[in-house]
Structure 1
């Protein structure tokens, strides 16, 4: 049985209630312990952790600004040794203090990640190394993911996802280079670490979003090269199908709600764009599909169907009186608001809500 993750306050409340039932003779002490063992208390950020994290960022920025402001007065050899010394120093200190001062140790590793990233850009400048902007973020991301693997730290992995997001999109839109294939290797590594951390919600959402981003750019890169004409329609159709698959694919329990919502959003957005490509039959079929999902209790589908109606509602400005379009739009939103409230009262979908 998978333990349910709850907050510390919720756990304390349950403990008080089970103690009350135990004192009343309803349950035994063994039953109380067994029921409490079914829950796992979420790790929360303490004041000390926040203070140390801010201190780590300020220290890292202070070191970087000091080096940058005096950069022109330092010889190349000293510059390089200074970067290496700072990088090794903070990480060695972090490892040595890991047992006695774990929070301080973690903050020092954060500083190490910042120094590592800055060191990449400074070394490139110092030795006139010709490397594009996005490859620098790739190297920084590889270093960060290694530290994330060592620390098993959610914050580090979130930062790594940001670095890979810059690398992925910068390669396509800024440098207009070929598709950054390294992302195909790094994404499985990120998912492995997400699994090691027992699927934190926000991190799982971000990594899933990065994966969808990588898929969209992959299709934009290769579909036009393989197919002549109707490239946009093919890309949107693939994303539409992938969205439905993501929404209903079997995943670990802690990921179900996230993947369902992201899957529905993906096929919903793709479908709205497809209504401009595939007229008449597709919008009608998709509208009926959404009604079916709403009947099954999908609250996310209500949001999508409202967005679909709003898309046609905007187009109606051209040929309907303004007052009539407002009346129709208001009535539609009221109707679907009623359905939304009705589903809420029923409990909605256990995983989509």
Structure 2
């Protein structure tokens, strides 16, 4: 039975080689054991190769050239000619990608990227021609429309591109009142993620998009105006996945969790985030500070950054209106320098106290 090797990045593979060689030099492993252990791993190149980079750049330039030509002659063309040109460019890019798939895979991939770009441009231009969609709706349709291409190619760049488009649309239409579609977006991308795309960046974007969908679910409730509730939920979810990260995406989970905990936790320390009669922001701020001090006491470097953010947040809130602006920025700069010195000192102390092999 053929041995299935674990695929790791070239950087990790090089580190494993160094570590196994170190163990061999110490007599813990012999040469045969070192070679056997290393044979269980295979170095892969996860990032785009130089050739792929050239192809992607070429695809973007071709797409930009087509769009520039069409835009430059747009006013002089009749509606029928415009429509034919848009559809022809759209179909030729896809047909070219499909025809060159087997013999020239990099060229094929770049043509599919051109297809994805032209598809979005067609949406904007056709919407302008027939007055049927605004710019925001075009971003939504663009993001949803290239999902089948992402399924077909199993390409993480198309996945990220689609996620970025939907994320942009979701952010720019957060309080529009047309919220039902966002739930659909969240479900679609959960399904897309289960398809097997394992990019950390795609995971974080998908997670953020899912969190935005929660906000829109709250908006579906008639008369809902307690915006502090989803902010509080986001903060709790952030803390939760920091303690209990997803197994396959431990680092990505912690990054996303910390982003939500810090951003929405700090938002809730402001009085205007709570539209309630009771001063809950004071209670929340006390709890937030105590939680930060708890992690600071445990030696967490991240808690230092969080505490600095808290101090700066209250400094800006309290000092901006009555201090001279030059003095305000001067004191703020001094505070940042002190925070940087404190952070560097704690980091060095942590490294000094770390166990040495």
Q: How many residues are aligned here? A: 337
2:275 paired residue number: none
The whole-number CA distance in structure 1 between the counterparts of 2:58 and 2:337 is 51
* Matching of residue 115 in structure 1 with residue 118 in structure 2: yes
**What's the C-alpha RMSD, in Å, of the aligned pairs?**
3.9
Deviation at 1:56, TM superposition (A): 0.9
Cα 1:333–1:256 shift into 2, 3 Å: same
| Secondary structure in structure 1 of the residue aligned to 2:270 | helix
Deviation at 1:315, TM superposition (A): 5.4
Unaligned regions of 5+ residues in structure 2, if any? 272-279
1:61 paired residue number: 64
| Secondary structure in structure 1 of the residue aligned to 2:8 | strand
Asked if the contact 1:194–1:200 (Cα under 8 Å) also holds between the matched residues in 2, the reply is no
1:209 paired residue number: 208
Deviation at 1:293, TM superposition (A): 2.6
Cα 1:217–1:302 shift into 2, 3 Å: farther
Deviation at 1:29, TM superposition (A): 4.7
* Matching of residue 225 in structure 1 with residue 219 in structure 2: no
Asked if the contact 2:8–2:41 (Cα under 8 Å) also holds between the matched residues in 1, the reply is no
Deviation at 1:161, TM superposition (A): 1.8
State the TM-score, normalizing by the size of structure 2.
0.77
| Residue number among 98, 102, 109 corresponding to 1:99 in the alignment | 102
1:351 paired residue number: none
* Matching of residue 184 in structure 1 with residue 183 in structure 2: yes
* Matching of residue 342 in structure 1 with residue 346 in structure 2: no
Deviation per residue, 1:45-71 (Å, 9 max, x gap): 222111111111111121222223333
* Matching of residue 171 in structure 1 with residue 178 in structure 2: no
Deviation at 1:102, TM superposition (A): 0.9
- Segment of structure 1 superposing worse, 188-197 or 260-269: 188-197
1:262 paired residue number: 256
Asked if the contact 2:183–2:217 (Cα under 8 Å) also holds between the matched residues in 1, the reply is no
The whole-number CA distance in structure 2 between the counterparts of 1:16 and 1:245 is 36
* Matching of residue 307 in structure 1 with residue 306 in structure 2: no
| Secondary structure in structure 2 of the residue aligned to 1:199 | coil
The whole-number CA distance in structure 1 between the counterparts of 2:34 and 2:339 is 51
Deviation at 1:74, TM superposition (A): 3.8
Unaligned regions of 5+ residues in structure 1, if any? 349-353
* Matching of residue 82 in structure 1 with residue 85 in structure 2: yes
* Matching of residue 131 in structure 1 with residue 126 in structure 2: no
Cα 1:33–1:94 shift into 2, 3 Å: farther
State the TM-score, normalizing by the size of structure 1.
0.78
The whole-number CA distance in structure 2 between the counterparts of 1:250 and 1:178 is 32
- Segment of structure 1 superposing worse, 204-213 or 338-347: 338-347
The whole-number CA distance in structure 1 between the counterparts of 2:294 and 2:5 is 31
Asked if the contact 1:316–1:325 (Cα under 8 Å) also holds between the matched residues in 2, the reply is no
| Residue number among 44, 49, 53 corresponding to 1:50 in the alignment | 53
The whole-number CA distance in structure 1 between the counterparts of 2:18 and 2:350 is 33
The whole-number CA distance in structure 1 between the counterparts of 2:331 and 2:133 is 59
| Secondary structure in structure 2 of the residue aligned to 1:225 | coil
1:291 paired residue number: 293
The whole-number CA distance in structure 1 between the counterparts of 2:281 and 2:258 is 21
Deviation at 1:164, TM superposition (A): 0.8
